[in-house]
Amino acid sequence: MTYKKAQVISRKSNNTPLTKPRALSLRDYISKDDEPDGKYKILLRMKTPYQRIAVVELKNGKVLVYGDGYVMFGTTGDDNIWAESLVHIPMAAAKKQQNVLMIGGGGGITTREVLRYRGVNTVTVVDIDSKMLDLGRNLKQLVKFNKGSLSNAKVKTVIRDGRAFVEKSQMKWDVIIIDVPEPSHDSPGLSRLYSREFFTLLKNRLTTGGVISIACSMISEMPEFCWSVIATIKAAGLYVLPYHYDARKKYGEDWCFCAASNKPLASSDLNIKISTRYLTSSKLKSMFQFSSKYRRKWSRRKIQTDNNKVLADIHERY
């Protein structure tokens, strides 16, 4: 779920014609930094009003979905780890799991994990880009991977800006999951999904005992980003339980998340009632412990609001 600035076409003078948009290249769809190792096949390239999307098939048959040059999700092992981490902590912490709101997650992978709970009645998946949801519903490799989650009778998909949807809705949810890209100077509008004002709005959309989870990027590369998101959530009046999944040995990354609620949360109270592949008891214990090299960056935290560029500036520095 991404937001892009409108393309600017400038006029040099009254006698100069409008500049023609340049032809898009492979690098507009698959950045050099995120290009797969080895041989791969491009299955699809398309430009939507919000982003440039590419679907790539790897030599092992797995697929990756790119948004504006960078991997958004796919059918790889790290997608399973990400989904388990983002979903099962808030589902375990929430008093109920009947009604779930998902902002982002067009690939249907996190929705697949939510649907594993028998007590779930409805899952509302909100994404601004209909093409991303189309991929999650129709791309055969993704449908097999997400177990057809976006076509499940319990799931309602909404094509809309996530912030606008929540502002207009009067519903309350037991679990709210935010799975959107980081704000950047190229996508400044995403800051409104990480701001103090938005978290204040979500605070009022929780049922009693409800829990929010937020993906906070890679703490191994941008610890200030993670701490600033957490500080922003606290500034909105919510209690926060930060955690991370250290996948540096296999994937070279350490992903940060946090759970938030109107009541205090403690890792000792968590009881994941379904089987998980990656969230073992020993792993769960380590997920709530942060090394001193990360904790030292806490002093650099800043508050994201609707009117500043705190998180985009951090993203730009890294």
Instruction: List the catalytic residues.
Output: 179
Tokens for 308, please give them. Answer: 């500043």
Q: Which residue has the tokens 């097999």?
A: 144
* Contact call for residues 111 and 155 (beta carbons, < 8 A): yes
* Contact call for residues 256 and 219 (beta carbons, < 8 A): yes
Count Cβ atoms within 10 A of the Cβ of residue 177 and give its class: 0-12 exposed, 13-18 middle, 19 or more buried.
buried
Say what angle helices 223-235 and 196-203 make with each other, to 10 degrees.
Answer: 50
3-state secondary structure of 284: helix
Phi, psi of 289 (to 5 degrees): -115, 130
Tokens for 217, please give them. Answer: 């990027």
* Contact call for residues 154 and 119 (beta carbons, < 8 A): no
Nearest CA-CA partner of 151 in 171, 131, 174, 133: 133
For residue 292, the Cα-to-chain-centroid distance in whole angstroms is: 26
Dihedral angle computed from the Cα positions of residues 146, 148, 152 and 154, in that order, rounded to the nearest 10 degrees: 0
Q: Which residue has the tokens 């938030």?
A: 260
